[in-house]
Amino acid sequence: MRRMEYKFLVPVRFMENIRRELLFFTRRDGYLPEETSDYIVRSVYLDTYRLQFYHEKIQGLLYRKKLRIRAYDYGDSESLVFLEIKRKWENYVWKNRAPIYLKDVPEFLEEGNPDLVVENLKGFKEARQNAGYFLHHVFRSNLIPTALVVYDREPLIGNYNSDLRITLDKNLRYRLFPKTTDMFSDDFSQIVMNEFFILEIKFCDGFPGWLNRLIHKYQLYRQALSKYTICLESERYFGVMHRRNVLAFI
């Protein structure tokens, strides 16, 4: 399913007020446990040795993609994670996803064995096909794990339009050149953007007027934000990494 995606970089001093105003028109995501308001998102991003996907982003290509392995909250090698290809055309985004157990990811990436993908999970009837797409890009471009990106996500759903999804993404942190088995590790994570959070708005059927008024009230401006790119550019060695082959740092 294609949907529109808008992103805003917001000072954290506005967070409480924006959250309070959003809750007039939205509700907590029903998948959240009763006692929590957010969850942890963990993604290992794959890129080429010369950071092709990063450069496509900063060059502003209208069509681009990113490959990542995504997990949530805390877990271990027996936890289910998701192979994802996120594609973007201008402001439209859509994904190909396939579930797999974390313990099987190294063999999947090295051997290209689609039998390791979990095929009987509800909502993933195209898992094997999507895993094939993922492997195609990994082997064609010789992709490697480039960054583990982690953040806390507070999800809200529209009261009057369930296709409207709003998230407050905060406490962005990262680790360069992780192993896929490091997915649930918080060791050596670097914190970035302490003074800002990212407000993401995803929708299919139109942008509500009340949300437009809130954005104008806080003088927010839509930006082409990428957490992966933000983390790479915050790395103090990135100036050198940008000029040299990234292999020097592996």
Question: What local confidence, expressed as pLDDT, does residue 72 receive?
Answer: 95
DSSP SS3 for 20: helix
Q: What is the pLDDT of residue 212?
A: 95
Are 159 and 27 contacting, i.e. CB atoms less than 8 angstroms apart? yes
Phi, psi dihedral angles at 8 (to 5 degrees): -135, 135
Domain count, the chain: 1
Cβ–Cβ < 8 Å for 109, 68: no
Q: What is the pLDDT of residue 29?
A: 85
Token digits for 190? 């670097």
Residue 243 pLDDT: 42
How much is the pLDDT for 91?
74
pLDDT of residue 105: 97
Q: Is the pTM of the predicted complex or chain greater than 0.95?
A: no
Indicate the pairing of strand 144-158 with strand 26-28.
antiparallel
**CATH number, residue 15:** 3.20.100.30
Domain that holds residue 118: 3-249
Residue 143: Cβ within 10 Å count: 19
What's the CA angle centered on 54, arms 52 and 59, to 5 degrees?
Answer: 95
Q: Which of 34, 25, 7 is nearest to 162 (CA)?
A: 25
Dist CA 112 CA 105 (whole Å): 10
Positions in the chain short of pLDDT 70: 1, 188, 236-250
The pLDDT of residue 166: 97
Annotate 22-74 with three-state secondary structure: HCCCEEECCCCCCCCCCEEEEEEEEECCCCHHHHHHHCCCCEEEEEEEEEECC
Crossing angle (nearest 10°) for helices 209-217 and 15-22? 160
Asked if residue 198 lies in contact with residue 8, where contact means CB atoms within 8 angstroms, the answer is: yes
